[in-house]
Amino acid sequence: MKELPKNVVLEVEHLKKLFPVFEKGILFSHQTGSIHACDNVSFKVEKGKTLGLVGESGSGKTTLAKTILYLFHPTSGQVFFEGIDVFKTFRSKNKQDILSLRRKMQYIFQDPYSSLNPRMTVADIIMEPYQIHRHIPKKEWPIRMYELLRLVGLEDYHSERYPHEFSGGQRQRVCIARALAVEPEFLIADEPVSSLDVSIRAQILNLLGDLQSKFNLTYIYISHDLSTVRHICDEVAVMYLGRIVELAEVNELFESPRHPYTKALISAVPTSKPGQKSNRIILPGEVPSPINPPLYCRFYPRCKYHIPICKKKDPKLEEILNKHYVSCFRGKEKLD
């Protein structure tokens, strides 16, 4: 057990996840390199709060989230949940300890259709966690299942239907109900509204907010949509090429971004006023290869604010203001 700071429920320390790259030979395959999907990431999440993870596709958001829950085995680093060493618990192969930890930490996947078994009814899907964890008496399973359906905005008769008989928004509600079946304390929502119509997104986001208020849940919310991030999150971590480049409270980050990459992301958010001119920042070049990332600043090839030291040293994530962390040599300056 590790004693975490007050109100902190999750702490990630120097987490790294590399995926080996192999090349086929005449007889055998041999490793030629590694994809640095998640590279030396550290942060904390307070109880009852929501941390947003944003960044381009391929920046490592989903890999980071799945590694935290040990769905991907980490290369190195540590994760502590309520003082419990997550990786040590899963490696111990103690079934009771693993199930106990799994009940506290759940995942809501991006695609609700592919994450649901098409051969199972909604009732079977929601009650499957009860069969695995056995944390409530069997006679209460149907009662709890109907309670969860109503909680997420579905009707009792939906329990006998199959996933293909629902709309995308309804399927995501089923996924949320399944995650809540084990009464978790911490949820990772991996782009839960990205595949839904705009009119349905607000309903799902409001549902997540209501559930958080009712059960004091802690979230990590992954999204490309910065508008929803600003609406639902308390803090935001910006990822680029496997690393967090900026971390701050949501209003501080949107009103006073300090990293050039964060400024470019925020500039791409559509304006709410028709005819208002957008000052979008178009980044030159492309993201460097995650197989062979630069040993200096990873954003240097695309940054117009770079200085000589940017190509000599790798900047560390440092606190420049209260709870505002930036990985940039010019982070203390307000760049135009």
- pLDDT on residue 246: 96
User: Which has more confidence, 40 or 5?
Assistant: 40
User: Which has more confidence, 99 or 335?
Assistant: 99
Q: Find tokens 């579905």 and name the residue.
A: 154
Query: What does the alpha-carbon distance between residue 61 and residue 80 come to, in Å, rounded to a whole number?
Result: 18
CATH for 8-23+32-233, options being 3.30.2350.10, 3.40.50.300, 3.40.50.880, 3.40.50.720: 3.40.50.300
Quickly state the pLDDT bin for 235 (edges 50, 70, 90).
Answer: very high
Tell me: pLDDT of 201 over 70: yes
The dihedral through the CA atoms of 142, 147, 152, 154 has a sign that is positive
C-alpha pair distances (Å), 254 with each of 198, 246, 272, 320:
22, 11, 15, 16
Query: What does the alpha-carbon distance between residue 297 and residue 315 come to, in Å, rounded to a whole number?
Result: 6
- pLDDT on residue 176: 95
User: Which has more confidence, 269 or 257?
Assistant: 257
SS3 44: strand
- pLDDT on residue 138: 93
As a whole number, mean pLDDT of residues 321-330 equals: 92
As a whole number, mean pLDDT of residues 68-74 equals: 96
SS3 16: strand
Percent of the chain exceeding pLDDT 70 equals: 98
The dihedral through the CA atoms of 146, 150, 155, 158 has a sign that is negative
Domain ranges in the chain? 8-23+32-233
The dihedral through the CA atoms of 84, 86, 87, 90 has a sign that is positive
Quickly state the pLDDT bin for 276 (edges 50, 70, 90).
Answer: low
Mean pLDDT of the chain: 92
Percent of the chain exceeding pLDDT 90 equals: 74
As a whole number, mean pLDDT of residues 43-58 equals: 94
Tell me: pLDDT of 127 over 80: yes
Q: Where are the strands (E) in the chain, listed by range?
A: 8-24, 29-46, 50-54, 76-81, 84-85, 105-108, 186-190, 218-222, 235-240, 243-249, 318-321, 324-326
- pLDDT on residue 272: 67
Query: What does the alpha-carbon distance between residue 131 and residue 82 come to, in Å, rounded to a whole number?
Result: 26
- pLDDT on residue 3: 84
- pLDDT on residue 329: 93
User: Which has more confidence, 278 or 130?
Assistant: 130
- pLDDT on residue 94: 93
Q: What is the pTM of this model?
A: 0.92
C-alpha pair distances (Å), 27 with each of 23, 30, 33:
11, 10, 19
